Amino acid sequence: AQTVTQSQPEMSVQEAETVTLSCTYDTSENNYYLFWYKQPPSRQMILVIRQEAYKQQNATENRFSVNFQKAAKSFSLKISDSQLGDTAMYFCAFMKHVNSGYALNFGKGTSLLVTP
Amino acid sequence: NAGVTQTPKFQVLKTGQSMTLQCAQDMNHNSMYWYRQDPGMGLRLIYYSASEGTTDKGEVPNGYNVSRLNKREFSLRLESAAPSQTSVYFCASSRPGRANTEAFFGQGTRLTVV
């Protein structure tokens, strides 16, 4: 069963504006890691940003930042000054413990369109 | 640095045919994964290998088999392809089983079963 929920299948934003993509997750673990991956039309999976659950400070990478609310199990991605190249599918994921190691568990994705 | 290399990039199979998707990584990663991506479903884990010599089922293993040939290579086999296996397949790798490690992905294989 999916334990990562992205409630916005599609979103649109104008160039230079700010957009926030939502993600909630469910885990019983206390220490874990959360990720946002970008998948442009080329199909390549690209890591956008990573958050460590034990850190209170929200991660930032240039125009990308997260709002991590551990108690609410929420992990949203904010894209500032949106660019046409940000058009892509965005996947929220967390590294879950499996039998013999760890594996990424993905949400269903949000398709983001940046318009001129 | 090639990273994770998958072959082929595209494949069309007839129902009942078999094929093997190949994956190799050159980052000395212990963990390797196979995911499938279907519209509206995100990426779902088929099989994974935490280290050379071990493999485990993921969320959607039915109809697939895997082989961890050595540390570099992790193949996915469809013994008798079905239309339900039409999908985009991704191989990925990561450093030894740690939760803070990102996964690196291949470019994907678009498989169509007719």
pLDDT digits (tens, 9 = 90+) for B25-74: 999 999 999 999 998 889 999 999 988 889 999 999 999 999 998 999 99
pLDDT at A2 over 60: no
The residue written with tokens 């963990």 in the block is B31
Confidence label for A27 from pLDDT (cuts 50, 70 and 90): confident
pLDDT at B83: 97
Q: Which of B54, B88, B103 is nearest residue A100 as measured by Cβ atoms?
A: B54
d(CA B80, CA A43): 26
Q: Is the Cβ of A44 closer than 8 Å to some Cβ of chain B?
A: yes
d(CA A41, CA B98): 30
The residue written with tokens 């104008």 in the block is A14
| Beta-carbon separation of A101 and B48 below 8 A | yes
Contact assessment for residue A23 and residue A74, using Cβ atoms and an 8 Å cutoff: yes
| Beta-carbon separation of B45 and A9 below 8 A | no
Q: Which of B42, B90, B99 is nearest residue A33 as measured by Cβ atoms?
A: B99
d(CA A99, CA A69): 28
User: Mean pLDDT score of chain A, rounded to an integer?
Assistant: 92
Q: Which chain B residues contact residue A4 at CB under 8 A?
A: 42
The CA distance from B25 to the nearest CA of chain A, in Å, is 15
| Beta-carbon separation of B40 and A2 below 8 A | no
Please, which residues have CB within 8 angstroms of residue A49's CB and are 6 or more apart in sequence?
A35, A36, A59, A60, A61, A64, A65, A66, A77
Chain A interface test: which of B100, B101, B104, B107 (most A C-beta within 10 Å): B100
What's CA A77's distance to the chain center, in Å?
Answer: 5
Q: What is the DSSP string of B5-50?
A: EEE-SEEEE-TT--EEEEEEE-S--SEEEEEEEETTTEEEEEEEES
Q: What digits encode the pLDDT tens for the residues A54-112? A: 888 999 999 999 999 999 999 999 999 999 999 999 999 988 777 777 888 999 999 99
pLDDT at A4 over 80: yes
Better pLDDT: B94 or B90: B90
pLDDT at B13 over 80: yes
| Beta-carbon separation of A106 and B103 below 8 A | no
Please, which residues have CB within 8 angstroms of residue B48's CB and are 6 or more apart in sequence?
A98, A101, A103, B31, B32, B33, B34, B55, B56, B58
A52 sits in which H/E element: strand A46-52
Taken as a whole, chain B contains a residue count of: 114
d(CA B65, CA B57): 9
